[in-house]
Amino acid sequence: MPEGPIHNSPYSDLDDATLAVVAVDDLEAFGELVRRHQDFVYGAALRVVRNTTLAQDIAQEAFVRAHRGLPNFKGDAQVRSWLYRIATNLALNSVQRRKEYPSETLPEPPAPSGPERQTELHALRAALEDAIATLPENQRVPLVMREYGGLSYQEIADETGLPLNTVRTRILRARRALRSKLEDWR
């Protein structure tokens, strides 16, 4: 989602938890939550569906659902984690409905130098995406939440309802599997 111009809102000094309470009855306050987290929510969806258009639709739907759910938001989790979970669930549901991963890949990062390096990075990124896609869902989801979503192990446990040690074990197994699958890249 494109980042908009810098916006000075009367709510910009509020923390997310307070803003969530105010946003129940104030659309402008909810708009501030959207501005703060739109890129993060879009990125979370994009990493699962691997399609920019679909990820934009999912991000929009995630914010619609979040707005509807604000009255029930108790603040047990951080707002960012809560939004991440909504977007991730919507994205996973979308992929499951389609029973396949879309062919569009993530946008390429700028290459640090030269066309050879760019080609190498492109191939590595494709190999990593393919390797992640082959992980069992119970390993892939916590790994993506940790590595791409930036969530702590505890936040992942809270969001998935799994015990903390189970989250750690699944991420460890996912990393080992990726290391094995990407052995040729070492």
pLDDT digits (tens, 9 = 90+) for 88-124: 889 888 877 765 444 444 444 554 566 777 777 777 7
Separation of alpha carbons 138 and 144, rounded Å: 11
How does pLDDT run across 49-90, given as a tens digit for each residue? 888 888 999 999 999 999 999 998 887 778 888 898 899 889
Higher pLDDT, 135 or 111: 135
Structure confidence at residue 13 (pLDDT): 87
Domain range 11-100, CATH class: mainly alpha
Could you tell me the sign of the dihedral formed by the alpha carbons of 104, 61, 7, 84, in that order? negative
Domain range 115-186, CATH class: mainly alpha
How does pLDDT run across 16-40, given as a tens digit for each residue? 889 899 989 989 989 999 999 999 8
Listed as own residue / partner, the contacts of 71-80 with beta carbons closer than 8 Å and 24 or more positions apart are 71/24, 73/20, 75/17, 75/20, 75/21, 76/158, 77/155, 77/158, 77/159, 78/16, 78/17, 78/155, 79/16, 79/17, 79/19, 79/20, 79/33, 79/37, 80/16, 80/37, 80/40
**pLDDT higher than threshold 60 for residue 44:** yes
Higher pLDDT, 131 or 8: 131
Domain assignments of the chain as residue spans, ordered by start? 11-100, 115-186
